[in-house]
């Protein structure tokens, strides 16, 4: 293979976006990933037993108000409109999430019919918490300011504790700021202008992003195993504390997910919805996903995937506490001193990104920081010696 000028660690959305942008500028890129597949956490596949497309690391729903990002992902595959909906199982009742009029009516035996009535109900519930412009200090403040004690104790608090293994008062406001509260009957989980699912799956989208003559992908390759570091620039999308693991700093906290998969002979569905959340502390699972719902797949089977968050395993979610923020800032200070190394993406930035935000962040970083360096790369007459890399099939779509 040609000598790579750029090494990108991670073949997820962030790494694939950066790789594609470099490649289209005529720069040779090597992308490595410790997993045996591309796509990072958006990796999906067709289940051999049922023929149902599933996501290995939990359901992913694309939504954005960013027209440029939406146009960007359209380049790499066909998309179908999909307005995602979620319900919560509360004592056997399936109620819409985020909270809307039907949620309140079902929980508290109300008969709210208009947005004006819903606004009045919310005002009464959060009386004493929505006075002035005081800034919430943590996620409990956010919830109380939005919905008051009853909804908070019924839906927000118990689910948050299961998801993060922390009290909401320990979590930064950003955790519950992400959850909207509606004053109408809109039961969509997202209200973004653009919402959809890739017709042939996310893996196919990432495959097409990486399908360029200037991009080489090497799977089953852990960053920690790399010893011949002879590239010109490095883009690191993995956990920032892994990169600096020898610096003696405290480890950052992450939440992972355990998946319990059950296949059932069933022409239809076993759940009323693709995703059912379980806020009750008596149920150990946070949610259950029935993938057959997505794009109305046809099969004589269905698959239920129950999820339970945990502290050990693959890092999915940075844990947004002040202590972790302080630790991350130590790593960020080290990152600023690195030469020719760029930290991009959710884990490298220790920040939660939706899929569109991950792509936007990568596009912006490339344009502002990496693109000005491309001319220097093309001009540089640097001879490198790299370890020969075996060519191997990497487009694992099953």
Are the CB atoms for 189 and 293 separated by under 8 Å?
no
Name the more confident of 391 and 306.
Answer: 306
Whether 378 has a pLDDT exceeding 80, the answer reads no
Cis geometry, peptide bond prior to residue 98 (ω within 30 degrees of 0): yes
- Position 385 scores a pLDDT of 34
Place of tokens 């490095």: 234
Are the CB atoms for 31 and 19 separated by under 8 Å?
yes
- Position 226 scores a pLDDT of 81
The tally of CA atoms less than 13 A away on the side-chain side of residue 327 is 22
- Indicate the range of 60-69, 250-259, 262-271, 377-386 predicted with least confidence: 377-386
Are the CB atoms for 172 and 142 separated by under 8 Å?
no
- Position 230 scores a pLDDT of 76
- Indicate the range of 125-134, 268-277, 349-358 predicted with least confidence: 125-134
- Position 380 scores a pLDDT of 61
- Position 129 scores a pLDDT of 80
Residue 153 pLDDT grade (very low, low, confident, very high; cuts 50, 70, 90): very high
Cα(20)–Cα(346) distance, rounded to whole angstroms?
18
Whether 383 has a pLDDT exceeding 70, the answer reads no
Helix axes 67-74, 355-365, angle to 10 degrees: 90
Q: What is the mean pLDDT of residues 316-325?
A: 95
Whether 329 has a pLDDT exceeding 90, the answer reads yes
The per-residue pLDDT of the chain, averaged, comes to 92
- Position 131 scores a pLDDT of 63
Residue 162 pLDDT grade (very low, low, confident, very high; cuts 50, 70, 90): very high
pLDDT digits 0-9 by tens, 74-123: 999 999 999 999 999 999 999 999 999 999 999 999 999 999 999 999 99
Tokens of 328: 């991350």
Distance of CA 265 to the CA centre of its chain: 31
CB proximity list for 273: less than 8 A, separation 6 or greater: 85, 86, 87, 94, 290, 293
Architecture of domain 6-80+195-249+320-379: 3-Layer(aba) Sandwich (3.40)
Name the more confident of 327 and 128.
Answer: 327
pLDDT digits 0-9 by tens, 211-265: 999 999 999 999 988 877 778 899 999 999 999 999 999 999 999 999 999 999 9
Sign of the C-alpha dihedral computed for residues 140, 311, 356 and 274 taken in this order: negative
Q: What is the mean pLDDT of residues 361-368?
A: 98
Cα(39)–Cα(16) distance, rounded to whole angstroms?
8
Whether 388 has a pLDDT exceeding 60, the answer reads no
Are the CB atoms for 152 and 144 separated by under 8 Å?
yes
Residue 390 pLDDT grade (very low, low, confident, very high; cuts 50, 70, 90): very low
Domain positions in the chain: 6-80+195-249+320-379, 86-177
Task: Name the percent of the chain lying above pLDDT 90.
Answer: 86
Whether 27 has a pLDDT exceeding 50, the answer reads yes
Whether 276 has a pLDDT exceeding 80, the answer reads yes
């Amino acid at each position: 293979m040609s000598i790579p000028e750029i090494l990108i660690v991670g073949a997820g959305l962030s790494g694939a976006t950066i790789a594609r942008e470099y490649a289209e500028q005529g720069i040779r890129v090597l992308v490595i990933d410790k997993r045996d597949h591309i796509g990072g956490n958006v990796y999906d596949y067709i289940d051999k037993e049922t023929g149902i497309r599933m996501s290995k690391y939990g359901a992913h729903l694309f939504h954005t108000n960013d027209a440029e990002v939406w146009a960007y992902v359209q380049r790499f595959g066909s998309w179908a409109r999909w307005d995602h909906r979620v319900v919560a199982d509360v004592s056997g009742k399936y109620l819409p999430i985020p909270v809307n009029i039907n949620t309140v009516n079902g929980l508290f035996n109300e008969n709210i019919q208009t947005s004006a009535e819903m606004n009045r109900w919310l005002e009464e519930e959060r009386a004493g918490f929505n006075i002035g412009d005081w800034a919430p200090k943590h996620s409990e403040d956010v919830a109380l300011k939005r919905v008051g004690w009853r909804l908070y104790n019924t839906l927000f608090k118990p689910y948050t504790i299961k998801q993060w293994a922390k009290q909401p008062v320990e979590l930064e406001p950003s955790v519950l700021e992400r959850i909207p509260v509606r004053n109408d009957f809109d039961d969509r989980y997202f209200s973004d202008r653009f919402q959809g699912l890739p017709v042939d799956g996310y893996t196919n989208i990432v495959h097409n992003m990486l399908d360029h003559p200037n991009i080489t992908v090497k799977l089953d390759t852990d960053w920690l195993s790399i010893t011949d570091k002879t590239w010109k620039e490095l883009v690191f999308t993995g956990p920032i504390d892994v990169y600096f693991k020898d610096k003696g700093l405290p480890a950052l906290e992450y939440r992972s997910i355990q998946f319990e998969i059950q296949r059932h002979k069933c022409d239809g569905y076993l759940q009323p919805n693709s995703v059912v959340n379980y806020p009750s502390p008596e149920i150990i699972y946070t949610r259950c996903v029935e993938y057959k719902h997505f794009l109305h797949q046809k099969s004589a089977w269905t698959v239920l995937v129950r999820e339970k968050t945990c502290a050990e395993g693959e890092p999915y979610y940075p844990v947004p506490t002040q202590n972790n923020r302080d630790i991350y800032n130590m790593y960020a200070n080290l990152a600023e001193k690195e030469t020719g190394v760029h930290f991009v993406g959710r884990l490298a930035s220790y920040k939660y990104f939706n899929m569109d935000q991950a792509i936007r962040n990568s596009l912006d970083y490339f344009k502002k920081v990496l693109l000005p360096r491309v001319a220097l790369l093309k001009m540089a007459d640097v001879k490198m010696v790299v370890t020969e890399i075996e060519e191997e099939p990497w487009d694992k779509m099953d």
